[in-house]
């Protein structure tokens, strides 16, 4: 059995910098035609000079692969002039509440104060992408942020808002309430619950933020993805950390899925009898929602067993050592 995917896209990706970027960017560029690149570096990507240098580093790391990095800026209080200058070089601006996840200490401390910039973004047609969590109890952080999405969807009706890496049934339900709300969902949140992370021995390589939730949340996310909900795109949130930062006290948050995402998704969609919807979920929805035109790339997956490597460089992938049903046959 085979399936051909046309120009698959990853609409939420972490590539880091330096040696780590050199390790991981080819693993995405091999099978994806493009990806939305997260800006939470140290220092953050919050100006055009930094963005252009980062894009150049990514393209150098891509090598000969056909791959387009869709760049984002880290949200701060921008002027209209700054936003006008950046508009043609970005796919959106990413809002991180201060301190809520990796490298977000310089994020937004006051959501209300950020609305001045959101109003400018609405005026200029610049997309808002949000890590939607508060500092509430860890299992409730996304749910606690949903009223913020509602307020902004109503206050800024022409602002396209992307709820990044949604993890709850409530977030799925919110998608259908506002025309200007969209979302991404990760591989791990379609497959695991908190029990997989911490129900037995702690598995640091499944620990991410937002944290995996309850079975009923996973079921709602899976149902939306399997039916290729028209407002939902695949965004891996693949987040590489070296082993020393994962298998330690103070474990870093992030699941590394970039090199196995399409293969695992093929198995997941086939298992549920929805393989025909995979193209829409990993490509067509994103093309339409974001209005992007990535390089032409055809990825052929085949139902041939593949054993996930123990590590890629110094990064351990999700399900390291496990045999999965699908593998990459060719990329053209």
Indicate which residues carry an active-site annotation.
Answer: 237
CB 91 within 8 A of CB 68: no
DSSP 204: G
Strand partners, 163: 130, 183
CA distance 204 to 208: 9
Q: Can you say whether the dihedral through the CA atoms of 155, 156, 160, 165 is positive or negative? A: negative
- The per-residue DSSP string of 277-309 comes to GHHIIIIIHHHHHHT--PPP-EEEEES--EEPP
In which region does residue 313 sit, left (phi positive, over 0), alpha (psi from -120 to 50) or beta (all else)?
left
CB 221 within 8 A of CB 268: no
Nearest to 282 by CA among 152, 184, 189, 173: 184
CA distance 3 to 242: 33
CA distance 7 to 49: 29
CA distance 326 to 332: 18
């Amino acid at each position: 059995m085979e399936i051909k995917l046309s120009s698959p896209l990853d609409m939420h990706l972490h590539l880091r910098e330096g040696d780590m970027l050199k390790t991981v960017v080819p693993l995405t560029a091999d099978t994806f035609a493009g990806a939305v690149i997260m800006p939470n570096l140290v220092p953050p990507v919050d100006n055009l000079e930094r963005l252009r240098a980062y894009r150049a580093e990514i393209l150098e790391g891509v090598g000969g692969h056909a791959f387009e990095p869709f760049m984002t800026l880290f949200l701060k209080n921008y002027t209209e002039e700054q936003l006008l200058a950046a508009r043609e070089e970005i796919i959106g601006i990413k809002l991180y509440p201060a301190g809520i996840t990796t490298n977000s200490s310089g994020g937004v401390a006051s959501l209300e104060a950020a609305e001045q910039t959101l109003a400018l973004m609405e005026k200029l047609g610049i997309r808002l992408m949000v890590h939607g969590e508060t500092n509430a109890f860890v299992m409730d952080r996304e749910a606690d942020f949903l009223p913020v999405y509602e307020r902004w969807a109503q206050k800024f009706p022409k602002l396209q808002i992307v709820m990044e890496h949604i993890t709850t049934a409530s977030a799925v339900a919110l998608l259908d309430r506002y025309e200007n709300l969209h979302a991404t969902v990760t591989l791990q949140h379609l497959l695991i619950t908190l029990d997989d992370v911490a129900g037995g021995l702690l598995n640091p390589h499944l620990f991410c933020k937002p944290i995996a939730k309850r079975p009923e949340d996973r079921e709602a996310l899976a149902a939306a993805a399997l039916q290729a909900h028209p407002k939902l795109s695949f965004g891996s949130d693949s987040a590489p950390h070296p082993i020393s930062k994962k298998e330690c006290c103070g474990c870093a948050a992030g699941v590394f899925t970039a090199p196995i995402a399409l293969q695992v998704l093929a198995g997941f969609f086939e298992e549920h009898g929805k393989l025909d919807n995979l193209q829409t979920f990993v490509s067509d929805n994103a093309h339409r929602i974001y209005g992007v035109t990535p390089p032409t790339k055809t990825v052929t997956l085949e139902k041939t067993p593949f054993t996930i490597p123990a590590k890629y460089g110094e990064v351990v992938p999700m399900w390291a050592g496990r045999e999965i049903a699908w593998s990459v046959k060719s990329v053209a």
